[in-house]
Amino acid sequence: MFDDFKQLKAKVNDTEINFKIRNIHKSCENAILFLHGFPQTHAMWAGIADQFAENYPIICSDLRGYGDSEKPLGVENFTFRHMAEDQLKLMSHLGFEKFHVVGHDRGGRVAHRMALDETDRLKTVTLMDIVPTRLLLSELTTQVAKSYYHWLFLAQPSPFPERLITSDPDYFYESCLLGWGAANLDDFDIEKLREYRKSWENADTIRAMCDDYRAAIEFDWKHDNEDHNRCLDIPTCLMWGKAGAMAKHYDIPETWKKSFTNIHQAPIDGGHFFPDQYPEETVAALSSFIGNKLD
């Protein structure tokens, strides 16, 4: 995976962030940052990020708490704002003051927070299979709670969820991969699955991912309430799995119309993990959107 990429780590925002990068010495405003979601790592972007033009810098980063990035202690250290600061400072560290960001799941929520906190730095933002955090938590329906029960389970006080998950991490996290619409385990590349399992079998990662969801309820909800009247004029691509739980329960473009003025829609076959299921279609949609915004 990731031919021609270098694996590096950088200490930014008092947190060591693990990432892979291609064209590290290219200085331009067309760098593309890819952010994964739960319960994955940057490995999800293999076969997608490396399909973009070779002359553009490509960065695939592990969020704090995930993969090989640092896992600080304390729920307060896992807000989307802290995660956004990590990635913004990483890109500054690499010399990219303006760039494109693509985020799936938690990575999409981090990308949204990046857009809110440092609007002028993002040339485009792509959000994959999410609705606004504030909407999901403030208007939680029975149907959404059943599909996305893990939001509430993982947010329970430590060590309750950690102890249950640790008894069989593969069973729990693979149930997450399969539980949000139209996925089978053989939809996931075996090398990527190996990387995911290596990550989620680490007790510190299990604790950190729980803290991520605790922070969403304890801190991020408040942050998003403070910003809910802001509408950003950043070219935005909304992608979602047509057979996924999000598409079943929400009109995804409608949920974002008060947040962004310039929205491009790109529904993809598959469920929540459509990038793993349909990488070629994902690349085509991303290339069409970002390609029109490259200098």
Q: What are phi and psi of 195, to 5 degrees?
A: -70, -40
Among the four given CATH numbers 3.90.740.10, 3.40.50.1820, 3.40.1550.20, 3.40.50.300, the one describing domain 6-291: 3.40.50.1820
Domain map of the chain by residue range?
Answer: 6-291
Closest Cα to residue 101, out of 47, 135, 61, 50? 61
Torsion angle, CA of 70/75/80/84, rounded to 10 degrees?
-40
105 is catalytic: yes
Longest dimension (CA), the chain: 50
**Given the residues 104, 150, 223, 272, the one annotated as active site:** 272
Catalytic-role residue among 50, 62, 68, 105: 105
Q: Is 272 a catalytic residue?
A: yes
Return the DSSP state at 43: G
- Count CB-CB contacts under 10 A for residue 282: 25
Kindly give the confidence (pLDDT) of every residue in the chain, 295 residues in length, as a single tens digit, with 9 standing for 90 and above.
Answer: 898 899 999 999 999 999 999 987 766 778 999 999 999 999 999 999 999 877 789 999 999 999 999 999 999 999 999 999 999 999 999 999 999 999 999 999 999 999 999 999 999 999 999 999 999 999 999 999 999 999 999 999 999 999 999 999 999 999 999 987 667 899 999 999 999 999 999 999 999 999 999 999 999 999 999 999 999 999 999 999 999 999 999 999 999 999 999 999 999 999 999 999 999 999 999 999 998 776 6
